[in-house]
Amino acid sequence: MNNKGKTGVASKTPPITFCIFSFNRAQFLKNCVDSIQQAAPYADIWIFDDRSDDLETRTYLQEVTTVATVVQPALKGGKKHGGLYHNMQTAIEQLKEHPLVCFLQDDTQLVRPIDIEEVDSIEKVFEENASAGFMHPCYIKGIDLTKRPLVDDPGPTSSTFYRRSTNQSAGIHYSDLAITKPARLLQKGWRFQQSEPENDKQAKRLFGPMIYMYSPFAMWLPDVPTWRGKRKTLGLRLAEKKKRCGFYPFRVLSEQESIAFVSRAPKDLPVAESFLHCTSQIPSKPWSYNPLTKQRWFKLLNNAEVRLRRFIKA
């Protein structure tokens, strides 16, 4: 399915296009779309749905075609040829004429208003830095700072920085959530690999370090239940129950709050817990993005069940 959103009539290419990659999570997808309409109403929205089979999601996908373009992977021989990275490759090939695209997922959202002048400044950074492949649009996860310190090295502008490597497998040159120029990726022969670490290696080879924003505008929702059609282990189910995983969207900052955030003290790192607020008092801080984080016994139980399944399958 490839439904042209809005009126279906071709119009001037918007300054930025948001691509949302989604599967079977209508509530989260709607929140993401609504946040874009609230924070960047001038932008184009494309949803790359991995052939959801949940009734609620399929119903929403029909409704949202009035404001977004919905794309689904083709069926070949009765089998779906999709998956996150296949769909991301489809996105840059279909949107190669669009100046900027921002990759999001259904469990993320925009958290503050972004005016067109700010988008123009992002475009200018790419135009003035021909080796730039990706820019990170998200806040820093506070929980990451408990594992390793973040050292910010000077970026190409005073409003950007590079994140110094602390031997992590991804996030220095590439992230699945990123702003990029599709034509630039294609000109370099970019092909999405099947993991963030592999794409980080490719980005290092083709482009160099990813640009981080001191004033980002998007974020992952915390304590989201795992999904994507996987059969959950007992350990994972228990971990999600203990952490009270659920739907905890962010309140979008007001215009005044956004201005105050952008004009705050230079190099005041954009740690999510310092600036963002969920609409519910749950979850507790620092926010978690993996139910098994700091859940040692549940993690061991999960890993044991995963190994057992592999053994039985073999």
Instruction: Kindly state whether residues 120 and 247 are assigned to the same domain.
Output: no
Instruction: Kindly state whether residues 66 and 192 are assigned to the same domain.
Output: yes
In a domain, 258, yes or no: no
Q: What is the pLDDT of residue 100?
A: 98
Band of residue 291 on the pLDDT scale cut at 50, 70, 90: confident
Question: Count of CB atoms within 10 A of residue 309's CB?
Answer: 12
Instruction: Kindly state whether residues 138 and 282 are assigned to the same domain.
Output: no
Q: Which of 218, 239, 265 represents a domain boundary (last residue)?
A: 218
What is the phi-psi region of residue 108: left when phi exceeds 0, alpha when psi lies from -120 to 50, beta otherwise?
Answer: beta
Strands (E), the chain: 2-3, 17-22, 44-49, 69-71, 75-76, 79-80, 101-105, 108-110, 135-136, 152-154, 160-163, 179-180, 211-213, 218-220
In a domain, 33, yes or no: yes
The larger pLDDT score, comparing residue 136 to residue 7, is at 136
pLDDT single digits (tens) 183-218 = 999 999 999 999 999 999 999 999 999 999 999 999
Instruction: Kindly state whether residues 194 and 240 are assigned to the same domain.
Output: no
In a domain, 260, yes or no: no
In a domain, 264, yes or no: no
DSSP state of 232: P
Domain enclosing residue 233, as ranges = 223-252+276-313
Instruction: Kindly state whether residues 159 and 238 are assigned to the same domain.
Output: no
Q: Which of 218, 233, 261 represents a domain boundary (last residue)?
A: 218
Instruction: Kindly state whether residues 34 and 108 are assigned to the same domain.
Output: yes
In a domain, 51, yes or no: yes
Instruction: Kindly state whether residues 47 and 82 are assigned to the same domain.
Output: yes
In a domain, 8, yes or no: yes
Instruction: Kindly state whether residues 68 and 135 are assigned to the same domain.
Output: yes
The tokens describing 245, both together, are: 């995983």
Instruction: Kindly state whether residues 146 and 70 are assigned to the same domain.
Output: yes
Instruction: Kindly state whether residues 46 and 90 are assigned to the same domain.
Output: yes
pLDDT single digits (tens) 135-156 = 999 999 999 888 788 999 999 9
* Residue type present at position 8: G
pLDDT at 7 exceeding the cut of 50: no
Q: Which of 173, 195, 218 represents a domain boundary (last residue)?
A: 218
Instruction: Kindly state whether residues 176 and 111 are assigned to the same domain.
Output: yes
In a domain, 257, yes or no: no
Average pLDDT, the chain: 91
- CATH number, domain with residue 36: 3.90.550.10
Predicted TM-score of the model (pTM): 0.91
pLDDT (average), residues 12-37: 95
Instruction: Kindly state whether residues 181 and 285 are assigned to the same domain.
Output: no
In a domain, 34, yes or no: yes
pLDDT (average), residues 107-121: 97
Q: In total, how many domains does the chain have? A: 2
